Chains A and B, each alone.
Chain A
Amino acid sequence: MSQASHALVEVREVSKRFPGVQALDSVSVDIRPGEVHAVAGENGAGKSTLMKLLAQLEKPSEGDILVEGERVRFRSPRHAQRLGIAMVHQEFALAPDLSVADNLSLGREHTRAGVIVRGSEKRRARELLERVGVAVDPGRKVSSLAVAEQQRVEIAKALAVDARVVIMDEPTATLTDAEIDSLFELIEQLKGEGIAIFYISHRLDEIMRIADRVTVMRDGQVVETLDKEQLDEGKLIALMVGREIDTLYPKQEAEIGDVVLRVRGLTRPGVLLDCSFEVRAGEILGFAGVVGAGRTELARAVFGADPVSAGCIELDGRELRLGSPGEAIAAGIGYLTEDRKGEGLAMQLSVIDNVTLARIPGRGIWIDRRAERQAAEQRSDELSIRAPSLHRSVEALSGGTQQKVVVAKWLQTDARVMFFDEPTRGIDVGAKAEIFRLLSDLAGKGRAIVLISSYLPELTNMCDRIVVLRDGRTVGELRREEFGEERIMALASGTEKEAA
């Protein structure tokens, strides 16, 4: 009880029902000034719904939300901001074509006689940006900023409304390790200013690092709220999933065969320079490097999605000339893109349509719909795709299930070399383990796998070999026995001389 009296914001037995679904079931949680309160849980556990209720994007069906002990009436996101609750969205809610200053004052423009007073806005913007530690000109367009800078602007926007509680939804999803460190410094600073932070994340290591308390949610309910001293990664996973996951990285030893894909001197002006690597049957090769080092670009170039000016690509010792993804697919190369929503799925189409998109069964112009359905059914059994119906659009599926649909699409092409670009981005722990098991199985069946990940433990645990990229070049290669996060980081950041 005494705890509750210190609470800045308290959620008391709140439920949220949508037609046919209980999204939140009598959830209680509170946050105190200067605290980082992490909310952990799998997709669909109700984390985001809970945060939306706090930000007044959704209205609770039952229960109360109290700010400093006072019951709050549901009105609008603007009202929530006035109460001091602001949200930093996972996909930033900034107007890309407006300037930073305009974005920071959006909705609260300082006007005189109906005309916006630009000077004072810029000044205020500069103050805010300084507070969040980002040195950009407030006159610049948001679309010209890097992702990490845009995020700072989002946080600045929260500070602009004098937020006392800042909700961060998966704030590190698109950041590099260095940027994450710097974000955490900022969070510490905000804590020092007495600002409370709700921190939603899938990444347990981050939660362990930053959180003062952790509330674990599952199936719309709070499972437990733990204090910092009680935290333990295995315990968190067990609470989130509701069962013990024996291992997150089910790496199996596979028999490594001949070189399947050999890339030599691949160059794309301004993007890739003289990149070389090879991958063998049964092998999982990792691409490590900071964001922008050219990992995705290298995969895209090999896949024929982007033009190259020099270099050669050999598959089974035969040189390929790839002009388009279609030719790469026909040759036996697959590429699971990092951006599932933007490049992976046709959201309005059904599971079946997406699974067969890269190789539709049929003859000539015709689609063999029965073969197509059978293929999709088989893949969905194989990958245990949990969809209410294979005829439904993939839009409605969870991130993990969507990712499996994309994987199914590439399995369907019988690709012998498969690039997996950040395959676990935005999916929950259970689904992650499943994706990794699948990578292992594929390698076990003699496919050659290239895994791209910004999260080093994924690479060090899953890969047989790691190629490090920096500034568009392949700068080093490490065998499994040489793996070490420091070693990889040193190569990726250029502090260690090239080993290749």
Chain B
Amino acid sequence: MSVANSPAGTSRALKLPEGLRDRLNEILSQLAAAAGLIIVAVALSFASPYFLTSNNLFNIGVQVSIVALVAVGQTLVILTAGIDLSVGSVAGLGGILGTMVIAKLGFPVVPGIIVGVLVGAAIGVVNGLLVTQMRLPPFIATLGMLGVARGLTFIVGGENAVYGLPSSFRLFGEGQIGPVPMPIVYLIVVGAAGYVVLSRTKLGRYAYAIGSNEEAARISGIPLNRYKMAVYIISGALAGFGGMIAASLVHSGQPNYGVGLELNAIAACVIGGASLFGGVGTIGGTLIGAFLIAVITNGAVLLNITQYYQQVIIGVIIWLAVWWDQVRRRRLAAVAAQAHGRRGTEAAQDGQSSIRAQGDDGAPGEAGSARA
């Protein structure tokens, strides 16, 4: 009987490791960031007795949650070879408008939070329209929005913070499920949802495809505009949600909230292995990137290292992470090239091949008509 079973058994056994090996490869590709995270964490646990206390770990979790939530949306946008520079300002605007409708208009807490999220989503709609209808490069579209949303925050809310929020609003950010603070709960839910979207839905697959080769995606019948709109709306909504969590944590709506948040979110994606040229990146990597930044920040506080050094360290980490990623990719490409001949060798020849490919498929339509 075992003999009869073995062929099927072996073929499955052969398939499984293959999938597993690729999964492993994927994890290994994030190893640089993950290893960095572990090394920093171990070092800190020796350097400061306070680091490994549950109190401090939850503290880190709460600190990282907003950046990480926003970075999940940012990952989706970056996968499509886009970028969303407006998330910091959107978090500010969402936080102000959401708290205003609660404090000034007497909205109950939950509808107020939803308003904050919807404001973010609405900004995402505008970003999406700028990119798909006006055909602005995402960098420009969202750079403009960074200014517009911040300006609107002050125009609508004035220069002062929004106070007078009910105490139940505090629970939204400061509550706990068991020992786990709410922001960590939100992060787990959004992170898991992000993972599912990327791995199991058409939105995720199309985001990868659009970022990898937009024209190939179009020729494959993918409605580009619809899916591009979707990623900017998701990114905006998550930024609005992050803004509401921040407001709850400080019991007020702060018009200055979120300045520079976009850079931390993008840094988290990049440290986690996402490529700004699109098509490459994972939620797991982004979360690791976000935690690495947060742990370093936390460690610096514990060890009394000034903020200026933190900024230097994080900047250097961005360099190292991207450098490592390129080294790894070049090596993989070289191996593949030799295994499979000419086409790959071109890729191996220089790390810029993906950049060149991006440039090449810039305007195939025009090229076609120019020829005729």
State which of B21, B213, B335 has its C-beta within 8 Å of the C-beta of A347.
B213
> Would A52 and B345 count as touching, CB distance under 8 A?
yes
B312-348 residues at the A interface, CB under 8 angstroms:
331-347
Known A57-B349, A362-B202; contact A45-B341, beta-carbon cutoff 8 A? yes
Known contacts A343-B215, A347-B212: A357-B340 contact under CB 8 Å = no
Residues of A within 8 A of B336 (CB): 395-396
Q: Which residues of A contact B218 (CB under 8 A)?
A: 305, 325
Which residues, 327 to 368 on A, are CB-close (under 8 Å) to B?
327-330, 335, 337, 339, 341-349, 353, 357-360, 362, 365-367
Smallest Cβ-Cβ distance to A365: which chain B residue: B201
Q: Which residue of A lies closest to B204 (CB)?
A: A367
Interface contact A345-B19, CB-CB below 8 Å: no
| Smallest beta-carbon distance B8→chain A, Å | 15
B window 1-33: CB within 8 A of A: 18-19, 21-22
Q: Is A292 an interface residue (CB 8 A)?
A: yes
The reply to whether the CB of A259 lies closer than 8 angstroms to some CB of chain B is no
Closest A residue to B18 by beta carbon equals A389
- SS of A interface (majority): loop
Nearest CB on B from A223, distance (A) = 16
CB pair A48 B365 closer than 8 Å: no
Q: Which B169-216 residues sit within 8 Å CB-CB of chain A? A: 199-203, 205, 208-209, 211-213, 215-216
In the assembled complex, the Cα of A445 lies from the Cα of B216 at a distance in Å of 27
Q: How many chain B residues touch A (Cβ–Cβ < 8 Å)? A: 55
A293 cross-chain contacts in B, Cβ below 8 A: 372
Alpha-carbon gap, A389 to B16, bound state (A): 11
User: Given A270-B372, A291-B371, is A398 in contact with B361 using a C-beta cutoff of 8 Å?
Assistant: no
The A/B interface has a contact count, at CB < 8 Å, of 183
Q: A324-B223, A335-B219, A341-B357 are in contact. Are A389 and B22 (CB under 8 A)?
A: yes
Chain B contacts for A365, CB-based, 8 A: 201-203
Contact of A271 among B201, B209, B219, B369 (CB under 8 A): B369
B368 adjacent to chain A (CB < 8 Å): yes
CB pair B338 A397 closer than 8 Å: no
A348 to B335, CA, bound (A): 16
Q: Would you call B167 an interface residue if the criterion is a C-beta within 8 Å of the partner chain's C-beta atoms?
A: no
B221 on interface, CB distance cutoff 8 Å: yes
* Interfacial chain B residues near A472, Cβ < 8 Å: 372
Evaluate contact between A43 and B209: CB separation under 8 angstroms.
Answer: no
**Cβ-defined contact, A367 with B201, below 8 A:** yes
Nearest-Cβ distance from residue B126 to partner chain A, whole angstroms: 24
B220 within 8 A of A: yes
> How far is B222's CA from A328's CA once the two chains are assembled, in angstroms?
11
Interface residues of B (CB under 8 A from A): 18-19, 21-22, 199-203, 205, 208-209, 211-213, 215-223, 279-280, 331-347, 349, 354, 356-357, 360-361, 364-365, 368-369, 371-372
- Residues on A lying within 8 angstroms of B by beta carbon are 18-21, 23, 42-45, 47-49, 52, 57, 91, 270-272, 291-294, 296-297, 300, 303, 305-306, 324-330, 335, 337, 339, 341-349, 353, 357-360, 362, 365-367, 369, 388-389, 391-392, 395-399, 401-402, 409, 413, 426, 472
Interface CB pairs A-B, < 8 A, 17? A20-B335, A44-B340, A48-B345, A91-B356, A270-B372, A306-B365, A325-B218, A329-B220, A346-B212, A346-B216, A353-B209, A358-B221, A359-B221, A388-B339, A395-B347, A396-B340, A398-B342
Which 10 A-B residue pairs are closest in the complex by CB-CB distance?
A: A44-B341, A396-B336, A21-B338, A326-B221, A346-B212, A18-B338, A43-B341, A358-B220, A391-B22, A348-B279
